[in-house]
Amino acid sequence: MTLENISANKSFGGWHKQYTHHSTSLNCQMRFAIFLPPQIASGQSVPVLYWLSGLTCTDENFMQKAGAQRLAAELGIAIVAPDTSPRGDDVPDDAEGSYDFGLGAGFYVNATQAPWQRHYQMYDYVVSELPALIEANFPVTTERAISGHSMGGHGALTIGLKNPDRYRSISAFSPITNPVNCPWGQKALTGYLGTDQQTWLEYDSCALIAKAEQQLPILVDQGTQDNFLSEQLKPDALIAAAEQANYPITLRLQEGYDHSYYFIASFIEEHLRFHAEHLVR
């Protein structure tokens, strides 16, 4: 598969780069960003943290706003940030142009409904196609962790919970924890999967924790002044599901923080160190 390097910036001795490629999962051109730490210059292969962004975001939000590169360079961890949905003139978008469905809002599911199913296969892209591409073209190991914010936090939790053999650890900022019971999730899951709510449960963290047979370390941070806290994110539902299933999760309520990247930048170093404990040996 052909990768086209479209930007490169040196950062903390490593490199932040953007690439485009044709995705066979999504049937369109896709872009991703990768931070390669300085250890690769000496021939070392490094583990990878996959970051999934939220509604309306692209690969650029995290890489430009989170301030993760300094510590990732110190710890020797690569970071890969895909886009949040398929893109392009042939890719359908929400007819009303809303921000929470269609372009920028792929929700990290495999769509089954027309016209979305041809392109909106973000679950397969993140779980299979993108890691295979990264591991074939960059000096990385098969040691992976996954993290994300909001819709991307939902993606990180559900993908990690469904694939415990593929990841060492999971973390999330302000995740949509119970999408079957919140407006964002209900809109996206109805559109992409249809009205059979049993199919929605395959993309609901609370439902997945209830039937998990293998446990991964999970760290979640949630700001107490988040405008979406009670209606959309529902961290209490995640804690209740984890307690019921005896699944150990660290969920921290951070006083005064909101839903923004100011919040993420404040705690990203703790998340990187958390993942490093499980990735770097």
User: pLDDT, tens digit, for every residue of 84-116?
Assistant: 999 999 999 999 999 999 999 999 999 999 999
Angle at 183 between CA 188 and CA 198, to 5 degrees: 60
pLDDT at 152: 98
pLDDT at 143: 98
Fold of 3-280: Rossmann fold (3.40.50)
Q: Which long-range contacts (CB under 8 A, 24 or more apart) does 154-157 make?
A: 154/107, 154/108, 154/179, 154/185, 154/203, 154/205, 155/52, 155/107, 155/108, 155/122, 155/126, 156/50, 156/52, 157/205, 157/208, 157/218, 157/220, 157/238
Which listed residue (154, 226, 271, 275) is catalytic? 226
pLDDT at 280: 78
Low-confidence residues of the chain, pLDDT below 70? 1, 281
Kindly tell me the burial class for residue 139, based on how many C-beta atoms sit within 10 Å of its own C-beta (0-12, 13-18, 19 or more): middle
pLDDT at 201: 98
Domain extents in the chain: 3-280
pLDDT at 18: 98
Which listed residue (150, 169, 171, 205) is catalytic? 150
Structure tokens at 108: 């990290």
259 is catalytic: yes
pTM of the predicted model as reported, rounded to 2 decimal places: 0.98
150 is catalytic: yes
pLDDT at 281: 63
Which listed residue (16, 149, 154, 259) is catalytic? 259
